[in-house]
Amino acid sequence: MGAKAEGQGQVIVFTGAGKGKTTAALGLACRAVGHGGKAAFIHFTGPERPSLGEVTATGILGAKLKMIGIECQAADPSYLGEFDQSVPTLKAALDLARELIKGGECDAVVLDDINPLLHQGVVDEEAVIELISDKPEATTVVLTGRFAPDSIMEIADVVTDFAEVKHPVHTGAAPRKGIDF
Protein backbone atom coordinates (compact mmCIF):
# COMPACT_ATOMS: atom_id res chain seq x y z
CA MET A 1 0.00 0.00 0.00
CA GLY A 2 1.25 3.47 -0.77
CA ALA A 3 1.22 6.64 1.29
CA LYS A 4 -2.17 7.73 2.58
CA ALA A 5 -3.57 11.23 2.36
CA GLU A 6 -4.70 12.92 5.56
CA GLY A 7 -8.09 11.62 6.63
CA GLN A 8 -7.72 8.22 4.99
CA GLY A 9 -7.74 5.11 7.10
CA GLN A 10 -4.93 2.66 7.58
CA VAL A 11 -4.29 -0.87 8.74
CA ILE A 12 -2.12 -0.72 11.86
CA VAL A 13 -0.51 -3.66 13.65
CA PHE A 14 0.80 -3.48 17.22
CA THR A 15 2.71 -6.69 17.95
CA GLY A 16 5.72 -8.03 19.87
CA ALA A 17 6.55 -9.30 23.33
CA GLY A 18 6.65 -5.88 25.02
CA LYS A 19 3.95 -4.28 27.13
CA GLY A 20 1.64 -1.51 25.87
CA LYS A 21 -0.05 -2.84 22.71
CA THR A 22 -3.60 -2.64 24.04
CA THR A 23 -2.95 0.69 25.72
CA ALA A 24 -1.53 2.13 22.48
CA ALA A 25 -4.54 0.89 20.51
CA LEU A 26 -6.96 2.35 23.02
CA GLY A 27 -5.05 5.63 22.89
CA LEU A 28 -5.49 5.66 19.12
CA ALA A 29 -9.24 5.02 19.52
CA CYS A 30 -9.44 7.84 22.08
CA ARG A 31 -7.59 10.13 19.69
CA ALA A 32 -10.20 9.38 17.00
CA VAL A 33 -12.99 10.23 19.46
CA GLY A 34 -11.13 13.37 20.57
CA HIS A 35 -11.22 14.62 17.00
CA GLY A 36 -14.98 14.11 16.71
CA GLY A 37 -14.95 10.56 15.33
CA LYS A 38 -16.31 7.24 16.53
CA ALA A 39 -14.38 4.11 17.42
CA ALA A 40 -15.01 0.52 18.43
CA PHE A 41 -12.73 -1.70 20.51
CA ILE A 42 -13.32 -5.46 20.39
CA HIS A 43 -11.31 -7.30 23.06
CA PHE A 44 -10.78 -10.81 21.62
CA THR A 45 -9.20 -12.53 24.65
CA GLY A 46 -10.25 -12.72 28.26
CA PRO A 47 -8.19 -10.91 30.87
CA GLU A 48 -5.78 -12.53 33.32
CA ARG A 49 -7.07 -10.05 35.88
CA PRO A 50 -10.75 -9.27 36.52
CA SER A 51 -10.41 -5.61 35.52
CA LEU A 52 -8.69 -3.93 32.62
CA GLY A 53 -8.20 -0.31 33.68
CA GLU A 54 -8.40 0.94 30.11
CA VAL A 55 -11.88 -0.55 29.68
CA THR A 56 -13.15 1.01 32.89
CA ALA A 57 -11.75 4.43 31.95
CA THR A 58 -13.58 4.54 28.64
CA GLY A 59 -16.93 4.95 30.36
CA ILE A 60 -16.43 8.71 30.32
CA LEU A 61 -16.24 8.73 26.53
CA GLY A 62 -19.83 7.60 26.19
CA ALA A 63 -21.33 6.37 22.93
CA LYS A 64 -18.44 7.64 20.82
CA LEU A 65 -16.28 4.65 21.82
CA LYS A 66 -18.04 1.30 21.87
CA MET A 67 -16.29 -1.37 24.01
CA ILE A 68 -17.09 -5.00 23.20
CA GLY A 69 -16.09 -8.17 25.06
CA ILE A 70 -16.50 -11.83 24.07
CA GLU A 71 -18.34 -14.09 26.50
CA CYS A 72 -16.59 -17.33 25.56
CA GLN A 73 -13.18 -15.72 26.22
CA ALA A 74 -13.94 -14.23 29.65
CA ALA A 75 -12.44 -16.20 32.52
CA ASP A 76 -14.48 -14.05 34.91
CA PRO A 77 -18.04 -13.33 33.66
CA SER A 78 -18.31 -10.24 35.87
CA TYR A 79 -15.57 -8.71 33.72
CA LEU A 80 -18.04 -8.36 30.85
CA GLY A 81 -20.06 -5.94 32.97
CA GLU A 82 -17.40 -3.33 32.22
CA PHE A 83 -18.06 -3.49 28.48
CA ASP A 84 -20.82 -1.65 26.62
CA GLN A 85 -21.73 -4.85 24.83
CA SER A 86 -20.71 -8.49 24.74
CA VAL A 87 -21.04 -11.16 22.08
CA PRO A 88 -21.21 -14.92 22.71
CA THR A 89 -18.50 -16.27 20.39
CA LEU A 90 -15.41 -15.39 18.37
CA LYS A 91 -17.47 -15.82 15.19
CA ALA A 92 -20.00 -13.31 16.49
CA ALA A 93 -17.14 -10.92 17.28
CA LEU A 94 -15.79 -11.22 13.73
CA ASP A 95 -19.26 -10.70 12.31
CA LEU A 96 -19.66 -7.59 14.44
CA ALA A 97 -16.19 -6.36 13.42
CA ARG A 98 -17.17 -6.83 9.77
CA GLU A 99 -20.39 -4.87 10.36
CA LEU A 100 -18.60 -2.05 12.17
CA ILE A 101 -15.79 -1.82 9.61
CA LYS A 102 -17.83 -2.17 6.42
CA GLY A 103 -20.61 0.05 7.75
CA GLY A 104 -18.21 2.97 7.74
CA GLU A 105 -19.73 4.44 10.91
CA CYS A 106 -16.49 4.05 12.87
CA ASP A 107 -13.34 5.97 12.09
CA ALA A 108 -11.27 3.39 13.98
CA VAL A 109 -11.96 -0.25 14.85
CA VAL A 110 -9.54 -2.04 17.19
CA LEU A 111 -9.33 -5.84 17.05
CA ASP A 112 -7.52 -6.19 20.37
CA ASP A 113 -5.50 -9.36 20.95
CA ILE A 114 -6.62 -10.93 17.68
CA ASN A 115 -3.04 -11.65 16.53
CA PRO A 116 -2.40 -14.60 18.92
CA LEU A 117 -5.71 -16.16 17.84
CA LEU A 118 -4.66 -15.83 14.19
CA HIS A 119 -1.26 -17.33 15.02
CA GLN A 120 -2.89 -20.30 16.80
CA GLY A 121 -5.38 -20.84 13.95
CA VAL A 122 -8.35 -20.18 16.26
CA VAL A 123 -9.48 -17.30 14.03
CA ASP A 124 -9.39 -17.71 10.23
CA GLU A 125 -6.52 -15.65 8.83
CA GLU A 126 -8.02 -15.40 5.33
CA ALA A 127 -11.30 -14.06 6.74
CA VAL A 128 -9.43 -11.31 8.61
CA ILE A 129 -7.33 -10.47 5.54
CA GLU A 130 -10.52 -10.16 3.50
CA LEU A 131 -12.11 -8.03 6.22
CA ILE A 132 -9.28 -5.51 6.37
CA SER A 133 -8.71 -5.55 2.61
CA ASP A 134 -12.35 -4.58 1.97
CA LYS A 135 -12.53 -1.81 4.58
CA PRO A 136 -13.74 1.64 3.54
CA GLU A 137 -10.86 3.97 2.71
CA ALA A 138 -11.62 6.30 5.61
CA THR A 139 -11.64 3.55 8.28
CA THR A 140 -8.56 2.64 10.31
CA VAL A 141 -8.32 -0.94 11.57
CA VAL A 142 -5.89 -1.79 14.38
CA LEU A 143 -4.86 -5.39 15.12
CA THR A 144 -3.01 -6.02 18.39
CA GLY A 145 -1.27 -8.85 20.16
CA ARG A 146 1.85 -10.94 20.00
CA PHE A 147 2.63 -13.15 17.03
CA ALA A 148 1.08 -11.07 14.23
CA PRO A 149 1.12 -13.25 11.11
CA ASP A 150 3.45 -12.18 8.29
CA SER A 151 0.47 -12.00 5.91
CA ILE A 152 -1.20 -9.38 8.10
CA MET A 153 2.00 -7.38 8.55
CA GLU A 154 2.58 -7.37 4.79
CA ILE A 155 -0.73 -5.66 4.02
CA ALA A 156 -0.53 -3.27 6.99
CA ASP A 157 0.37 0.38 6.50
CA VAL A 158 1.99 0.62 9.95
CA VAL A 159 3.59 -2.16 12.01
CA THR A 160 5.01 -1.44 15.45
CA ASP A 161 6.91 -4.22 17.20
CA PHE A 162 6.81 -3.66 20.96
CA ALA A 163 10.02 -4.95 22.52
CA GLU A 164 10.42 -5.30 26.25
CA VAL A 165 13.80 -4.01 27.35
CA LYS A 166 13.27 -3.96 31.11
CA HIS A 167 10.26 -4.53 33.38
CA PRO A 168 9.97 -4.79 37.19
CA VAL A 169 7.88 -7.98 36.98
CA HIS A 170 11.09 -9.86 36.08
CA THR A 171 12.58 -8.95 39.46
CA GLY A 172 9.58 -10.36 41.30
CA ALA A 173 7.55 -7.15 41.55
CA ALA A 174 3.80 -7.59 41.33
CA PRO A 175 1.90 -5.86 38.48
CA ARG A 176 0.70 -2.43 39.66
CA LYS A 177 -2.96 -1.52 39.44
CA GLY A 178 -3.35 1.66 37.41
CA ILE A 179 0.09 1.25 35.81
CA ASP A 180 0.43 -2.32 34.51
CA PHE A 181 -3.28 -3.10 34.32
pTM value surpassing 0.85 = yes
Q: State mean pLDDT over 82-90.
A: 86
The whole-number pLDDT of residue 50 equals 43
Under the banding of pLDDT at 50, 70 and 90, the label for residue 1 is very low
**CATH superfamily of this structure's domain 11-95+108-171:** P-loop containing nucleotide triphosphate hydrolases (3.40.50.300)
Tell me which DSSP letter residue 5 carries. Answer: P
pLDDT tens readout for residues 91-113:
999 999 999 999 999 999 999 99
pLDDT tens readout for residues 35-78:
999 999 998 886 654 456 776 777 766 777 888 888 888 777 77
Q: State mean pLDDT over 149-170.
A: 94
Nearby residues of 158 by Cβ (< 8 Å), 6 or more positions away: 10, 11, 12, 13
Residue 5 has pLDDT above 60, yes or no: no
| Residue-wise DSSP of 127-148 | HHHHHHHTS-TT-EEEEESSS-
| Residue-wise DSSP of 46-82 | --SSS--HHHHHGGGGGGGEEEEEEGGG-SSGGGGGG
